[in-house]
Amino acid sequence: MRKILKAALIAAALTGIGVAGAVGDENPNVVVYQSADAFDDATFALENAIIEAGLKVDHVSHVGEMLERTRGDVGSDVIVFGQADVYQFCSAVLSRKVMEIDPLNIAHCPYGVFVAQAPGEDGAVLVGYRKLPEGEMQEVQALLDGLAREAAGVE
């Protein structure tokens, strides 16, 4: 039952129920913005934002493809996303800064911003990231927020 409720909450967030500015209030650990653009345009905008910030994309995790490919293997009939990618990258400057303060901040690296589209041709496109702890990691969170907002086209 809990699994079904969680899937319903995710579906509600992805279909834009209660969307205004940042969405995803049902998960306090994630910041999410809805994009008016198509998935491909949002991923292109995110990649450009990362590069324009002087960073390099280390890896793109195709989470949506993996979930779809393994759906039957794990005995599920739920289509979680139409498409979903997580862009991973690091900032040498910020990473060094926060790890010199606390070497265990390595746990937050690499940093990631996702773009996800709800199932269906007209599914909502969301751009977001995992919230980071208070303190020195808030400077990294500000970077993630700026990248997510730029990719989503949110001021």
The domain segmentation of the chain, as residue ranges, is 2-152
The total of other beta-carbon atoms located within 10 Å of residue 8's CB is 10
Q: Which residues, in sequence order, are bridge partners of residue 43? A: none
Whole-number pLDDT of residue 131: 97
Residue type, 132: L
Whole-number pLDDT of residue 18: 33
Whole-number pLDDT of residue 120: 86
Whole-number pLDDT of residue 16: 42
Residue 125 to residue 55: CA distance in whole angstroms:
24
Pair 55, 91: CB distance under 8 Å: yes
Chain mean position to CA 54: 20
Among residues 81, 109, 74, the alpha carbon closest in space to that of 94 is found at: 109
Whole-number pLDDT of residue 74: 97
Whole-number pLDDT of residue 25: 58
**Beta-strand runs (E) in the chain:** 22-23, 30-35, 56-61, 83-90, 111-117, 125-130
Buried/exposed code over 113-151 (b: 16+ C-beta within 10 A; e: otherwise)? bbbbbbbeeebbbbbbbbbbeeebbeebbebbbebbbbb
Peptide bond into 110 cis (omega under 30): yes
Residue type, 47: E
> 2-152 adopts what CATH topology?
TATA-Binding Protein (3.30.310)
Note down pLDDT in tens along the chain; length 155 residues: 334 334 434 444 444 433 334 555 578 999 999 999 999 999 999 999 999 999 999 999 999 999 999 999 999 999 999 999 999 999 999 999 999 999 999 999 999 999 999 998 889 999 999 999 999 999 999 999 999 999 999 98
Crossing angle of helices 92-101/137-152, nearest 10°? 150
